[in-house]
Amino acid sequence: MGTEIQKTETLSPLANAAALVSADGNMDVEKLGKLLEMQERWDATQAKKAYVVAMAEFKEKPPEILKDQTVKYKDVKYNHASLHNVTACTNKALSEHGLTASWVTSQDNGSVKVTCKITHVQGHSEETCLSAPPDATGSKNVIQAIGSTVTYLQRYTLLALTGLATQEQDDDGNGAADKPKIPEPTPLNVKVLDAIAVKAAQEIGDSRIIDIPKMAALFYARKGSYPSKMDKVSDAVAWLVGLGEEEKWTKSFEEKYELVEE
């Protein structure tokens, strides 16, 4: 049985203001400016809620992505899902829920960086990024080496942001030379992650245990960086819990403690 998501209609600040104006006939410019600011925040909140609902519905029936290409050279052989296959399957499913994916590519200190963004029709978007050096394997020229890495990173940023995996997915990093590596969190990152873990544990109750390394990896995979601001801990927890994917950043008591039968 699928999870039912309740949708409620609420009046915007401007809609409420219209009622107030009709009641007393007064509205000065200063109040109108503040009301417009409230409207912008309200719109952003509503857009974010719509994004979360759409993504949850998308993940309830995710597309099946099969590996459709085989790469062979010398003693190396592996199967992978082509970028066309990944995007065709994923974008079709995303569009059914008002979501679209796009990429931005850049270069920094010799590495290729790809940022994938998923945007909802109401305007809210979320993104993640990965970087890797150009794929210099084989007889590729400079442009081909960059293109190979861009394709690899586009494929995996989209899979990471949507939480999808190809059937029997393996790490076909040979197509992009060195695989993208997740850096170690800084002391500040660790402090913020610990605070997020404490608050997240309060949110989900006693049924699961927070797995901080998994949680950190999820933040990096989806956001492109570790949390680094203590004043954003509540927002980070709201995002984390809102994903509805507790199995990716928690573990059961049985997984933490090995039960020994006497």
Strand partners, 125: 119
Looking at residue 70, what is its pLDDT?
62
Looking at residue 258, what is its pLDDT?
42
**CA distances (Å), origin 166, targets 48, 65, 69, 140:** 27, 5, 12, 27
Better-predicted residue by pLDDT, 75 or 155: 155
Report, in angstroms and rounded to the nearest whole number, the Rg of the chain calculated over CA atoms: 22
Kindly tell me if the per-residue pLDDT of 86 is higher than 60. Answer: yes
Q: How far apart are CA 128 and CA 149, in angstroms?
A: 16
For residue 72, what are its two tokens?
């062979």
For residue 5, what are its two tokens?
């998501």
Please give the average per-residue pLDDT across 153-158, as a whole number.
86
Helix, strand, or coil (residue 177)? coil
Confidence tier at 159 by pLDDT (50, 70, 90):
confident
Which pTM does this prediction carry? Answer: 0.52
Looking at residue 241, what is its pLDDT?
87
